[in-house]
Structure 1
Amino acid sequence: MKIAILGTRGIPNNYGGFEQFAEIFAVYLAQKKQDIYVYSAHDHIFQEKTFKSVNIIHKYNPEHKMGTVGQFFYDLNCILDSRNRKFDIILQLGYTSNSIWSFLLPKKAIIITNMDGLEWKRSKYSKKTQKFLQFAEKKAVKSSHFLIADSLGIQKYLKEKYNKEAAYIAYGAAPFLNPREDLLLQYNVKNNNYNLLIARFEPENNIEIILEGVAAAQDHKLILVIGNNDNAFGYYLKKKFGDNQKIRFLGGVYNKEHLDNLRYFSSIYFHGHSVGGTNPSLLEAMAAKALIVAHNNEFNYAILKDNAFYFSNATEVKQLTETVNKDNHKQIVQNNLDTIIQEFNWNKINESYLRLFEKSLQ
């Protein structure tokens, strides 16, 4: 098969979840002797034409000049290029900035789209932007031959709203096997003596509720808050909680070894995400044997089931911060690792995608 992956900033990954998946899956396809191409931004840090036998196509991305709107033109450049390459399958990762160009997609290729989360529900977007994202979602559903949902909640939503079946294929993670306690020295924390929160600074990730609960708790453990906070919501939270001695804002940390160790040695890992499908950072916390306290919603429960503690408000965060300790809940930590190995391992995810590709061409 001749396959293209669109919708990422490129590989190898130096940005986020879709890029991580694209790298892992594309290398897997290359190992299976498939003819695989990944579109990358012109200014990606990796400038070679191949990566581990994966073909790389660099296209101009004006995002550095235009901001977010530049993504629309980057996707346009990728789609226009794809028209001349006779791909059997085009896999689109997400739809927000490429669905408006769907009428330009090559007519003979099978279009498969991973529908990501419910982007239009994100409170950071204006009402006008939310309406556009609903329009883009509808366009993606109509223009795709096959849909992929990375959570059962998204699969159910697509069926109910559009009466369209989506294949459920989750995101993946790899068990964290090499803990290094010495790395904690760089963050001035000790094993099982701090809590952890890793998230984008957006209201729907419930960072404010978590920090309100932590601030009110009679527990003296420090909480490390990791994520790029250089936005309006980040400034607001730093102003509100910046004087609290228990709360330390670290900004973005992108070294995966460091993140995995911080998860592994934490007492509580807070996961506040409430919008979207299977969140990569949640799976990575499970894979790193973190004890998870998660926001109570269908997306998180579908993954964690009874192997986590749940909160809906700051009072519940306070109570859990005061009473929950990793040493007392080793079994549910192990259960989550077993879930990663059995259900969310990358080999299973890759095989599921490949089977869908083969089926789509029958």
Structure 2
Amino acid sequence: MKLRIAILGTRGVPNYYGGFEHISEYVSEGLVKRGHAVTVYNSHNHPYKEASWNGVQIRHCFDPEYLIGTAGQFVYDLNCLLDARKRNFDAILIMGYTSSSVWGKLYPPKSTIITNMDGLEWKRSKYSPQVQKFLKYAEKLAVKYSQFYISDSMVIKTYLNEKYNINSKYIPYGADLFSEAEREQVHTREALKEDYFLLMARMEPENNIETILEGFNNSSSHRKFKVLGDTGNRFGKFITHKFKNDERIEFKGSIFDTGKVRALQNNSYLYFHGHSVGGTNPSLLEAMASEALIAAHNNPFNKSVLNADAFYFSNAKEVRNIVETVQRTAPERAMVSNNLHKIKFQFNWEKIIDQYEQFIIECHNNSNYERIIQD
């Protein structure tokens, strides 16, 4: 069965932004290769201006976020939905719900509506209590107005089942294996093998960057600590100021060269992953695929992916202990190998695209094209 499928809820493809754009890029192209007609909605501000990309049709919709800030995201999602109502798609995949579910009554009535429910957005500490309250409401609306649901984490799947009594489909993110070409480039990069610790994240409190760097700052390690991420925001400036006197800590800014990032991950002595909110995190999977040894924040999201194949920390004291005691011997090599096996057989892009295709077809076949609304 070949379907007309639309993907909404992202800034667009190819990916210049982050998580949902990342997976939309892979899924849209993969579905086209499997014979489906796929349309992705792009912000008119997206750097890519063509009408198609690798067989994927692109619809450019007006996005006033650059003019009016966050409120513009709601206008952009509304514009995408109004356009989609004209196009008779068999299925619409909505990535996230933050600024789209408020328009739930306008979801195209003859399309099968599937929502990827994202992480527990209302838990993010960067949001004020008022915004967190709204995000809980938006989550409720997404459940109300969608017909089918995807969770990218088993933790999210369990939460949705317990909170709303809905059975969402678990489909995680994926990652590409460390290619031979990338492996050959490793030795030409600036990084020296196992000479430094590494962290890569958006500069936000919930990513435990302060905790990680404080633990390292208090340690006796002679190694460098490289931090990848844009430090231009308020929290980034706070972090760089707090640790400016530790010459071992190097703030490298954002690096968009994928090969360089993967070489840095592969070469690191230990890779720190501090994300504490959300589902399956793409940067964690990429570190696993790059064969990095990983220390992760101790929470259900990270543990559901890494299991026993990582070191875990909850505070700066535990970070310091890991920094001062971690070795690279047979047990650690086994952890790296086990994580690579997960990428090959669980978080493999081809398998994930197959799961998306099968689920979309199944949802379309089971849909009666009626919104089942419960007040």
Deviation at 1:182, TM superposition (A): 4.2
Aligned equivalents of 2:256 and 2:143: distance in 1? 33
- Aligned mate of 1:228, from 227, 230, 252: 230
Q: Which amino acid aligns with 2:219?
A: A
- State the 1:204 CA deviation: 0.9
> CA shift at 1:327, angstroms?
4.6
Q: State the 1:232 CA deviation.
A: 1.3
1:239 to 228, 237, 241: 241
Question: 1:326 Cα deviation (Å)?
Answer: 3.3
Three-state SS of the structure 2 residue aligned to 1:359 is helix
Task: Report if the CA contact (8 A) 1:181-1:191 is conserved.
Answer: no
The CA RMSD measured in Å over matched residues stands at 1.0
User: Is residue 268–residue 326 contact of structure 1 (8 Å, CA) maintained in 2?
Assistant: no
Give the corresponding residue for 2:96. Answer: 94
Query: d(CA) in 1 for partners of 2:178 and 2:62?
Result: 36
**Structure 2 counterpart of 1:159:** 161
State the 1:110 CA deviation. 0.7
Task: Give the match's secondary structure for 1:172.
Answer: coil
Alpha carbons 1:10, 1:41 under 8 Å: kept: yes
| Other structure's SS at 1:77 match | helix
For the 8 Å contact 1:268–1:325, the answer to whether it is kept is no
Q: What is aligned with 1:37?
A: 39
Q: Which residue pairs with 1:47 in the alignment?
A: 49
Cα shift at 1:335: 0.7
Note if contact 1:37-1:55 (Cα within 8 Å) is conserved in structure 2.
Answer: yes
In structure 2, the partner of 1:307 is: 309
Please state how far the C-alpha of 1:181 moved relative to its aligned partner: 2.8
SS of structure 2 residue aligned to 1:361: helix
After superposition, residues 140-159 of structure 1 pair within 5 angstroms as 140-159=142-161
For 2:170 and 2:309, the matched residues in 1 are separated by 22
Runs of 5+ unmatched residues, structure 1: none
Kindly indicate whether residue 257 of structure 2 is the aligned counterpart of residue 252 of structure 1: no
Corresponding residue to 1:76 among 71, 75, 78: 78
> Which residue of 2 is the match for residue 361 of structure 1?
364
Q: Which residue number in structure 1 is paired with residue 344 of structure 2? A: 341
Shift of 1:325: 2.9
80-89 or 231-240: which moved more? 231-240
Name the counterpart of 2:68.
66
**Does structure 2 retain, via aligned residues, the 8 Å contact 1:183–1:261?**
no
Greater shift in the superposed pair: 40-49 or 77-86: 40-49
CA distance in 2, matches of 1:339, 1:182: 26
Report the Cα offset of residue 184 of structure 1. 3.1
Contact 1:225-1:249 within 8 A present in 2 as well: yes
Alpha-carbon separation, structure 2, partners of 1:128 and 1:231: 21
Could you tell me which residue of structure 2 aligns to residue 286 of structure 1? 288
Shift of residue 111 of structure 1? 0.5
Q: Which has the higher relative contact order, 1 or 2, with Cα contacts under 8 A spaced 6 or more apart?
A: 2
Work out the CA distance in 2 between the residues paired with 1:174 and 1:162.
Answer: 34
Secondary structure, in 3 states, of the residue corresponding to 2:70?
helix
- Which range is displaced more, 106-115 or 243-252? 243-252
Query: Does 237-246 or 323-332 show the bigger shift?
Result: 323-332
SS in 1 for 2:206: helix
Q: CA deviation at 1:13?
A: 0.9
2:41 corresponds to 1:4:
no
Secondary structure of 2:71's match?
A: helix
CA contact (8 A) 1:94 1:114 kept: yes
Match for residue 119 of structure 2 among 117, 120, 135: 117
Is 1:350 aligned to residue 353 of structure 2? yes
Q: Distance in 2 between matches of 1:333 and 1:193?
A: 17
Code of the aligned partner of 2:359:
L
Residue aligned with 1:91, SS: strand
CA distance in structure 2 between the aligned counterparts of 1:96 and 1:192, rounded to whole angstroms: 40
In structure 2, relative to structure 1, the CA distance for the partners of 1:79 and 1:213 (3 Å cut) is same
Q: How much has 1:148 moved relative to structure 2? A: 0.4
Partner Cα separation in structure 2 for residue 49 and residue 277 of structure 1:
32
Q: What is the CA deviation profile of residues 121-142 of structure 1, one whole-angstrom value per residue up to 9, with x for unaligned ones?
A: 0011000000000000000011
Deviation at 1:17, TM superposition (A): 1.5
1:198 is displaced (CA, Å) by: 0.5
The answer for the alignment partner of 1:172 in structure 2 is 174
- Could you tell me which residue of structure 1 aligns to residue 15 of structure 2? 13
Whole-angstrom distance in 1 between the partners of 2:307 and 2:83 = 44
Percentage of identical aligned residues: 50
Aligned partner of 2:144: which letter?
K
Q: Distance in 1 between matches of 2:10 and 2:258?
A: 19
Query: What is the aligned length?
Result: 359
Provide, for residues 26-74 of structure 1, a one-character-per-residue CA deviation record: whole Å limited to 9, x for no partner. 1111111111100001121111111111100001111112222211111
